[in-house]
Amino acid sequence: MNTRGLRSQLKDSVPVAGLCPQGAYGVQDSLRSGFTSVKNELLPSHPLELSEKNFMLNQDKMNFSSLRNIQGLHAPLKLQMEYRAARQIQRLPFLQSSNLALDTLRGNDESIGFEDILNDPTQSEMMGEPHMMVEYKLGLM
């Protein structure tokens, strides 16, 4: 099963500020990510932080590989194509999308978990600045 696509997305560490800077030209982007502190970023602060970050990806990986074993290679390939298409349905950069198609494909529309109760992105107190976010999206900044 070609999970290279999924595997490359799995994060096995929290982003390290010093080692792989997110800014352009490989320099630490102090404006956005703040000051560097290797101790701060190198290790996850909570035992669940990493596993929660990767949870959806791990679930997908598990489901796709069992689907491949049951139905053959075509099944996960077709599903991944649909996932990719559904993931592209988004709104403008600073608006929260409901991800309805993606949720339906995953089966999340039929269950309630902590993602729906806690920290609802549609009700977050902070709003991103539209101009900054569009520039970031287009790579101008």
Under the binding rule (CB under 8 A), the answer on residue 83 touching another protein is no
Q: Are 27 and 21 in contact (CB under 8 A)?
A: yes
Q: Give 76: exposed, middle or buried? Use CB within 10 Å, 0-12, 13-18, 19+.
A: buried
Nearest to 19 by CA among 33, 2, 5, 1: 33
Position among 11, 49, 82, 131 found at the interface with another protein (CB under 8 A): 49
Cβ distance to another protein smaller for residue 77 or 83: 83
Least Cβ distance, residue 70 to another protein (angstroms): 20
Q: Does 27 bind another protein (CB under 8 A)?
A: no
Total number of residues binding another protein (CB under 8 A)?
41
Q: At what angle do helices 74-87 and 55-71 cross, to 10 degrees?
A: 150
**Structural tokens at position 132:** 């900054």
Which window, 3-11, 61-69, 78-86, 106-114, contacts another protein (CB under 8 A)?
106-114
> Which residues 6+ apart lie within 8 Å of 79 measured at CB?
64, 67, 105
- Closest CB to another protein among 70 and 117? 117
Q: Which residues bind another protein (CB under 8 A)?
A: 22, 29, 31-35, 40, 44-49, 51-52, 55, 93-94, 96, 110-121, 124, 126-129, 132-133, 136-137
